[in-house]
Structure 1
Amino acid sequence: MHILIAPDSFKGSLTALEICQTCTSAIHSIAPNTQITSFPLADGGEGTVDAFVHNAGGQKINLTVTGPLNKPVEAFYGILADNKTAIIEMASCAGLPLLTPEQQNPLYTTTKGVGELILNALDRQCNKIILGLGGSATHDGGAGALSALGYEFLDEHQQPIPAGAEGLLKLCSINTANLDPRVENTEFIIASDVKNPLLGEHGAASVFGPQKGATPEMIPTLDLAVNNLIQRLAQHFDIPAAEIIQQPGAGAAGGMGAGLLTSLPNASIHSGFEVIAQHLSLTGLFKHGELDLVITAEGQINQQTSQGKLPVGVAKLASQYNIPIIALVGSIGKGAELTHEQGITSIFSIINQPMPLEHAVTHADELLHQTMREIFRLVRAFHTEKASGQKG
């Protein structure tokens, strides 16, 4: 029996690699000779760098850059074995985990550190940047990152605007004379795990603002801020702003998707799962792996998962080759049943009894191991019965 384990992480609890290791341990505790291929994944958020470096080879670079509160933080990115491709998680320097709940306020947080990571990659001769936009604490449309690359965002007095969304309300003009010239010769592949447009009911502020600390009163202000940025950028580059605003993924990372698409000459935005699947040749595992079962995982499966998040991406590949796929999750949310239509065979929560969230997070490894063991007992029974029937 050959099993592929291809999970996302349980954010704040287990990395994708740790999930692979725990599931492998659970399966081998019952059937030690089971063939297992581990392929930790991510879709642009937490774990993207580790997934690329683990599966494709390369190195992880650690450095100090500007954090979301405009103070130094320790961050990281990856450089693949070709020494030309950099993998950046914007959340490593501008993500929610870097802030306490009391510090979260998308009016003031900045993405400047992301631009500093890009500059470091350019200094190391990289000419291709894969930038994951998941897990942000920001809503500055990527203006902070662009300022690090040499963009000047100016107010009516031709003075630099303050960092964050509130500063964007004062934006009147843009100067690109000091843009780092290497940017024009660099390919930027933006990996997003959401398809939201920039503005409106389904836009960045309305959907993701509250989880970044935005109050209901802030939402219109956040929309005005990023809209002003995109309108000014579009005017500067003489391109239609409406096309950018409605682009799927424009609302990713507080409008960073829209800001980078408008500002970077060689930028394109794609599903985070599709980016990692293509660059790591995930399809080849299904074509040539002779797989009997696929196991994926995510912290919660819900209606949003069906919009193209990682478990559904894996499930669609499995469906093409008629391979059953099991999803292991921390919790099963509203609309999870929609993922069955997109290929997920069955969903199992690792929570086996009522418990506080903190307990579930700190004991996730144990809970996952127990759940995987029980699932595999059933899988092995059916597989053994099927094999016996074929022999008879």
Structure 2
Amino acid sequence: MKIIIAPDSYKDALSAREAAGAIATGCARVLPQAQLVQCPMGDGGEGTLDALLAATGAERRVTEVHDALGRPINASWGWHAASATAYVELAEASGLQALTDAERTALHSTTLGVGELIRDALNAGAEHLILTLGGSATNDAGAGMLAALGARLLDAEGQPLPPGGAALARLTELDLSDLDPRLAALTVDTAVDVDNPLLGERGASAIFGPQKGATPTDVTLLDAALAHFADHVASALGKDHRALPGAGAAGGMGFAAAAFLGARLQPGIDLVMDQVDFDRLLEDADLVLTGEGQLDGQSLAGKTPVGIARRARRHGVPTLALAGRLGDGWQAVHDEGIAAAFALADGPLALPEALGRTSELLADRAESLLRVWQLAGRQTPR
């Protein structure tokens, strides 16, 4: 019997790799002879880099860059020399998880560090870039990234703008003459887990700004500033990307990736599955086990378990999901290929205790699931 174990991370508890190991432990208690294929996954958010490195064998490299507040930070990225492919996770450089609640500032946070990672990848000889955009602390529409790659964003006095999305309201000149010429030959695929446009009531500032510290007044200011920036970009490039689905990802980094890097914006989980050759793994599989911290109605928008189940269903392979919590509307996942979903808790648990026991609970629930699977008569390999 072949079981594919493909979870995302369990936020604040386990990485995707750790979660896969815990699930495998539980499965082995029931079916010690089964082929358990651990394939940690991600949909573009924090931890996706680890999943890609584990699946592709790419080398982990570390570069000193600037975080979302401009402070020095060591950020990881991946390098696959054989294919000249670089893997860059925005959250490594400009992630929200690196900031305290008091430090969150959607007005002034920057994607400078992401641009520095891309520059390092170009220096290594990258021909293909996989860029993942989840977990950002930023709302600058990629302006910081552009500055790191040679663009000059100038005010009316010809001075460089300070970091952050708010400063874009003062943009007078967008000088692309020194933009790194190596970008023209770089193929870029960008993983996004939302389909929001750059601006408006569903835009980057309105939907994601508040979690990054933006007040209602800040949201209005940022949306206007990003619109002003988008006007300059459209004038400079002759094409307007502000309405592109996914342009609002990571505070507008989807917009910048499409406009300046020529990126293809793809649902993160689909891009990751393609990178790890998930279809090949499914060809002779009997069962898929997946999961993440929470399953709810919003999971249909492209979260890992639903993306996994949709792909597995094409191959006729059933999928079971283990979630830290089943939230509102979770039953909708059944229509997307998840045959059954289960919460981890074995009784009333306070959140700190639940987080501390996630590995144990995952192993126990996986064991229980496979015992039921055996009773259903599905233990015989194809």
TM-score per shorter chain, which class? over 0.9
In structure 1, the residue matched to 2:162 is 162
Contact persistence 1:230–1:259 (CA under 8 A): no
Aligned match for 1:325, one of 307, 319, 322 = 319
Cα distance change on mapping 1:387 and 1:236 into 2, 3 Å: closer
Report the residue type matching 1:257 in the other structure. G
Aligned match for 2:260, one of 259, 263, 273 = 263
In structure 1, the residue matched to 2:105 is 105
Contact persistence 2:26–2:367 (CA under 8 A): yes
**Cα shift at 1:387:** 5.1
Deviation per residue, 1:104-160 (Å, 9 max, x gap): 111111000000001111111111111000000100001101100001011111111
Aligned match for 1:277, one of 273, 276, 289 = 273
In structure 2, the residue matched to 1:76 is 76
Q: What is the count of residue pairs matched by the alignment?
A: 382
**Cα shift at 1:200:** 2.1
Q: Answer yes or no: is 1:34 the counterpart of 2:34.
A: yes
TM-score (norm 1): 0.93
Q: Which moved more, 1:55-64 or 1:193-202?
A: 193-202
**CA distance, structure 2, for counterparts of residue 102 and residue 196 of structure 1:** 26
- Structure 2: 5+ residue runs without aligned partners? none
Contact persistence 1:4–1:36 (CA under 8 A): yes
In structure 2, the residue matched to 1:306 is 300
Q: Answer yes or no: is 1:352 the counterpart of 2:346.
A: yes
User: Within 5 Å, which residues of 2 pair with 1:24-173?
Assistant: 24-82=24-82, 84-173=84-173
Aligned with 1:214: secondary structure? coil
**Cα shift at 1:339:** 1.6
**CA distance, structure 1, for counterparts of residue 339 and residue 147 of structure 2:** 46
Contact persistence 2:43–2:302 (CA under 8 A): no
TM-score (norm 2): 0.96
**Cα shift at 1:383:** 2.7
**Cα shift at 1:188:** 1.5
Contact persistence 1:233–1:263 (CA under 8 A): no
Q: Answer yes or no: is 1:375 the counterpart of 2:372.
A: no
In structure 2, the residue matched to 1:248 is 245
Cα distance change on mapping 1:4 and 1:387 into 2, 3 Å: closer
Aligned with 2:79: secondary structure? strand
Deviation per residue, 1:68-105 (Å, 9 max, x gap): 11110111100124151000000001001110011011
Contact persistence 1:57–1:81 (CA under 8 A): no
Q: Answer yes or no: is 1:21 the counterpart of 2:21.
A: yes
Aligned with 1:60: secondary structure? strand
Q: Answer yes or no: is 1:342 the counterpart of 2:336.
A: yes
Report the residue type matching 1:71 in the other structure. R
Aligned with 1:270: secondary structure? strand
Report the residue type matching 2:356 in the other structure. T
Aligned with 1:331: secondary structure? strand
Deviation per residue, 1:270-293 (Å, 9 max, x gap): 111121222221111222x2x221
**CA distance, structure 2, for counterparts of residue 246 and residue 345 of structure 1:** 36
Cα distance change on mapping 1:387 and 1:370 into 2, 3 Å: closer
Aligned with 1:29: secondary structure? helix
In structure 1, the residue matched to 2:358 is 364
Contact persistence 1:4–1:37 (CA under 8 A): yes
Aligned with 2:82: secondary structure? coil
